[in-house]
């Protein structure tokens, strides 16, 4: 085969000099160093755990959202699911349901919501944007109806203490307060490890990418597109329900109007973390880093007394800049 030798090899390219994930880590570290230098109150035993707790919830939300975005879909309902499930768990706890059963039921409701989204997309043929927009508004409505527009206070201390406590303290009673890992942050790790195994090392993780890249080709290769879509939306809603539990624990109430706009923060975190809204591009670590970058910026802006209106503008600008650089990077490939 003499003719094959001289033919150029397509797709030849140099290895990317720096992986995108490392760039994000560098950005996060850079932000922290900057804030440590310019504000005395950033690197303090009060602020750092606080930041870890703040970022944790959006991080988990963004991770769930990423599964959906990889299939080239979108889940606009996650913020509403957080608010709604905070009401559910608060209601259950005030009606003397045990903690573990309350948690299970709440997560089960998340599963139900995700299944409903997938049903709407697969069986009714609705675009993901529409079906999740519909649940976004109606879930908040249902939550408000249930509470008659008011707030349910959670009186169960075991439940609310969880979010304030740290890992070593709650597990072994060792109190090294500022140096311990906050429970909320530990939850990110608890979710991230299975997410990593799922997305990078399991068959179903691959199927998410295949469906997002070319659903028809995936189907002809024997992938059940229906089941994959169900899986993605269920994971997203269950993550959101999980965050609903964490939020209820942190603020000690159930209220359907909580977590307003979190869906956009989750999507922004995911996109900053390198997820492509066109599908088939995304990682487990990207959205986590994205969420903590956003949280650090907001936190830093607060400490620097930057007007909170400016914070929104900065977040918007950051999304444009990071995604633009990511696009440049992809185009070079």
Partner 1 sequence: MPTASPTLAPRVALAQVPILELRKLDKRFTGTHALKAVDLAFLPGEVHSIVGENGAGKSTLIKLLTGVHVRSSGEILWQGQPAHIATPHDAIALGINAVHQEVVLCPALTVAANLFLGDEEIKYGMLRHRAMLRDAQEILDEIGFNLPAGAMLGSLTIGQQQLVATARAATRGTKFLIFDEPTAYLTRQEAAQLFALIRRLKARGVTIVYISHRLEEVFDLSDRVSILRDGELISTERIEDTNEEKLIRGMINRTIEQVFHKEAVPFGAPVIEARHLSGRGFSDVSMTVRQGEIVGLYGLIGAGRSEFVLSLFGREPATAGEILWQGKPVKIRSERDALKLGIALAPESRRDQGLCLNMPVGFNINLPILRRLTRGILIAGRPETEAAEGQISDLRIKTASRHALASSLSGGNQQKIVIGKWLNHGAKLFIFDEPTVGVDVGTKAEIYRLMGMLLKQGAGIILISSYLPEVYELSDTLHVFRTGKLVASHGHKVASHEDVLSQAIGV
What does the binding site for partner 1 look like in residue numbers (CB under 8 A)?
A: 1-4, 6-14, 197, 201-203, 206-207, 209-210, 213-214, 216-224, 280-281, 333
* Residue 289 token pair: 């880093």
7 phi/psi in degrees, rounded to 5: -65, 135
Report in angstroms how near the CB of residue 149 gets to partner 1 at its nearest.
45
Distances (CA, A) of 300 to 48, 81, 112, 236: 11, 28, 38, 29
Q: Is the dihedral of CA 195, 287, 299, 37 positive or negative?
A: positive
Report in angstroms how near the CB of residue 263 gets to partner 1 at its nearest.
26
User: In this structure, are residues 77 and 135 in contact, taking their beta carbons and an 8 Å threshold?
Assistant: yes
Cβ proximity to partner 1: between 280 and 318 the closer is 280
> 69: closest CA among 113, 136, 128, 124?
128
Cβ proximity to partner 1: between 254 and 286 the closer is 286
Among left, alpha and beta (phi > 0; psi -120 to 50; other), residue 259 is: left
Report in angstroms how near the CB of residue 270 gets to partner 1 at its nearest.
18
Residue 253 β-bridge partners:
153
Rounded to an integer, what distance in angstroms lies between the CA atom of residue 38 and that of residue 305?
12
> 292: closest CA among 317, 265, 259?
265
Cβ proximity to partner 1: between 99 and 280 the closer is 280
Report in angstroms how near the CB of residue 199 gets to partner 1 at its nearest.
11
Cβ proximity to partner 1: between 162 and 196 the closer is 196
Cβ proximity to partner 1: between 137 and 221 the closer is 221
Cβ proximity to partner 1: between 9 and 328 the closer is 9
Rounded to an integer, what distance in angstroms lies between the CA atom of residue 218 and that of residue 212?
9
Rounded to an integer, what distance in angstroms lies between the CA atom of residue 289 and that of residue 321?
16
Cβ proximity to partner 1: between 170 and 213 the closer is 213
Report in angstroms how near the CB of residue 154 gets to partner 1 at its nearest.
36
Residue 10 class from Cβ within 10 Å (0-12 exposed, 13-18 middle, 19+ buried)? exposed
Report in angstroms how near the CB of residue 1 gets to partner 1 at its nearest.
8
Rounded to an integer, what distance in angstroms lies between the CA atom of residue 242 and that of residue 237?
8
Report in angstroms how near the CB of residue 186 gets to partner 1 at its nearest.
23
Cβ proximity to partner 1: between 130 and 197 the closer is 197
Rounded to an integer, what distance in angstroms lies between the CA atom of residue 136 and that of residue 123?
20
Rounded to an integer, what distance in angstroms lies between the CA atom of residue 39 and that of residue 279?
39
Report in angstroms how near the CB of residue 7 gets to partner 1 at its nearest.
5
């Amino acid at each position: 085969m003499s003719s094959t030798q001289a033919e150029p090899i397509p797709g030849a390219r140099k290895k990317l000099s720096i992986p995108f994930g490392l760039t994000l880590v560098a950005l996060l570290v850079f932000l922290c160093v900057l804030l440590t230098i310019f504000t005395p109150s950033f690197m303090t035993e009060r602020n750092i755990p606080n930041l870890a707790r703040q970022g944790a919830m959006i991080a988990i939300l963004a991770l769930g959202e990423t599964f959906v975005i990889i299939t080239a879909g979108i889940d606009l309902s996650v913020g509403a699911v957080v608010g709604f499930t905070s009401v559910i768990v608060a209601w259950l706890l005030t009606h003397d349901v045990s903690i573990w059963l309350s948690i299970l039921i709440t997560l089960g409701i998340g599963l139900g919501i995700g299944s409903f989204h997938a049903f709407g997309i697969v069986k009714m043929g609705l675009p993901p944007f529409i079906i999740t927009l519909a649940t976004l508004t109606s879930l908040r409505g249902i939550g408000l109806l249930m509470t008659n527009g008011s707030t349910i206070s959670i009186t169960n201390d075991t439940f609310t203490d969880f979010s304030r406590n740290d890992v070593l303290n709650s597990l072994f009673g060792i109190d090294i307060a500022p140096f311990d890992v906050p429970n909320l942050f530990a939850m990110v790790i608890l979710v991230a490890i299975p997410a990593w195994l799922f997305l990078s090392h399991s068959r179903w993780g691959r199927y998410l990418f295949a469906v997002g890249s070319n659903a028809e080709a995936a189907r002809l290769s024997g992938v059940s597109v229906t089941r994959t879509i169900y899986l993605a939306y269920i994971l997203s809603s269950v993550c959101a329900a999980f965050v609903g539990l964490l939020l209820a624990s942190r603020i000690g109430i159930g209220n359907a109007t909580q977590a307003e706009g979190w869906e956009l923060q989750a999507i922004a975190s995911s996109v900053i973390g390198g997820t492509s809204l066109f599908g088939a591009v995304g990682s487990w670590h990207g959205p986590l880093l994205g969420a903590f970058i956003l949280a650090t910026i907001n936190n830093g802006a607060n400490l620097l007394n930057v007007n909170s209106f400016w914070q929104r503008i900065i977040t918007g600008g950051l999304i444009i800049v990071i995604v633009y650089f990511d696009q440049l990077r992809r185009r070079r490939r």
